[in-house]
A and B are shown apart, each in its own frame.
Chain A
Amino acid sequence: MQDVNAETKLDGGAIISTLIGASIEIAVAVPDITTSAGLLWPLSRRSEIELVRVCKEDEGISICSALAYCNRRSVLLMQQTGLFDSLNAVRGIAVEYGQPVCMLVGLLGKEPGQPPHLSKKYSVNIVEPVLKAMAVDYVCIEDDDDIPLIKTAIDRAYETSRPVVGLFGRRIAP
């Protein structure tokens, strides 16, 4: 199956700089092709942010929440399928407990330039409605101009002790 995201790319270096600027110390991740080359592999080779590879996305929700209790900022990288798989942990740990769990989600299959909810792909177009139904804030990262929104969203999550999701709408380049 052709991945329609493959044509255009976000600046992975700028995203990593933004995460460092947002005081992120630890990235917890399950590999996702949207973020793989431009974000996850570079993070694995750099020392500013510790990378923890987990088997399943809901582990990451708990790890990030516990780190937040300890005043250490982290992000969870995953694909939207992993977000769906971990919704009960998002519900209980992040939303009901009011924890600043910050999730960065690659939207596999989203058409470039198209808002996620208007995607023709079911697994993409239900992401925003699901997050809205769960009262989880999110930001869409579609172009490089959107990358600073990541820091704003992370800072707000920690200020308000609420979870937040950043939705990557294009593949990320190194």
Chain B
Amino acid sequence: MMVRTEALAEIAKLRGEALVVAVYSAAFEWIGISPHPLNFLSVGAMGQASSSALGFAMGLPDRQIVVLDGDGSLLMNLGSLVTIAGVAPRNLIHFVFQNGCYEANGEHPIPGQKVVSFAGLARAAGYRTVAEYAEIADLQSGLPGLFQAPGPTFATLHVRPGVKPQLDYALVHGAAARARFQAGLADAMKTQGLKARGG
């Protein structure tokens, strides 16, 4: 089974100018692997990454939106799978890192750890493209297709924890992080000829 940082590194190679919504441990690893003004870390409440990503996908329909979700996080907002499938944004890719536990909260197992299929849930909800990977070689070969497929696209990435990242929550929840993101988003929107907030 792959390590999460390996999978993130593969996603980083293809992210281009995508806006990336990332949560918890994956977020801290992601900002080291793929620093970018359009990394959105300020999800604000557990489970809300997918819904934030949907809002961005609707607000920026010409930009790729990638969400790096956790399994415990998605369990708190399973209805968002149905909402996303209903809105059907073609520019949204939803990755779920399934490590089977609440890694940032004592590594307790998620409910249904041994039986839940997030890919199955996404497929049943109505995502256009659904995939599932456990080995890095398989992800490497499948990932380009996921980035080219019309969304909404979903992929479960089965991972085992690697080296635990330093969880500096002030970094992701602080006003400075949001200000950096807002400034980066404003620049990106201006290059697309869009009027940014406050602009």
Contacts and interface: CB of A to CB of B under 8 A. Distances in A.
Contacts of B43: 62, 93
| Most chain A CB inside 10 Å of its own CB: which residue of B55, B178, B197 | B55
Interface stretch (A5-13, A84-92, A115-123): A84-92
A60 B83 CA distance: 10
Interface string A76-105: 000000000000110111001110000000
A54 B55 contact: no
Interface in A43-71: 52-56, 58-71
A59 B189 contact: no
Contact of A89 (B44, B56, B58, B173): B44
A71 B195 contact: yes
11 contacts: A52-B58, A52-B83, A59-B83, A62-B44, A62-B51, A65-B52, A66-B53, A66-B59, A69-B185, A70-B189, A70-B194
B79 A67 contact: no
B87 interface: yes
Interface of A: 26, 52-56, 58-72, 88-89, 91-93, 96-98
B54 interface: yes
A54 B79 contact: yes
B87 A52 contact: yes
B196 interface: yes
B103 to A, nearest CB: 20
B182 interface: yes
A59 B79 contact: yes
B98 interface: no
B82 A66 contact: no
Nearest to B76: A58
Contacts, number: 104
Nearest to B60: A70
A112 B42 CA distance: 40
Nearest to A71: B197
Contact of B42 (A55, A63, A97): A97
Contacts of A97: 42, 44, 178
B2 to A, nearest CB: 29
Contacts of B185: 69-70
A67 B51 contact: no
| Interface size class of chain B, counting residues whose CB lies under 8 Å from the partner chain | 35 or more
Contact of B48 (A26, A61, A69): A61
Contact of A58 (B51, B56, B86): B51
- Shortest 8 CB-CB distances between A and B: which pairs? A66-B55, A70-B59, A55-B79, A92-B44, A62-B51, A93-B44, A63-B55, A71-B197
A68 B189 CA distance: 13
B157 to A, nearest CB: 22
Contacts of A64: 55
B17 to A, nearest CB: 15
Given A59-B77, A62-B55, A93-B45, A69 B182 contact: yes
B195 A65 contact: no
Contact of A69 (B59, B77, B79, B82): B59
Contact of B59 (A59, A72, A88, A91): A72
Contacts of A61: 45, 48, 51
B189 A55 contact: no
B79 A56 contact: yes
Nearest to B57: A66
Contacts of B42: 97
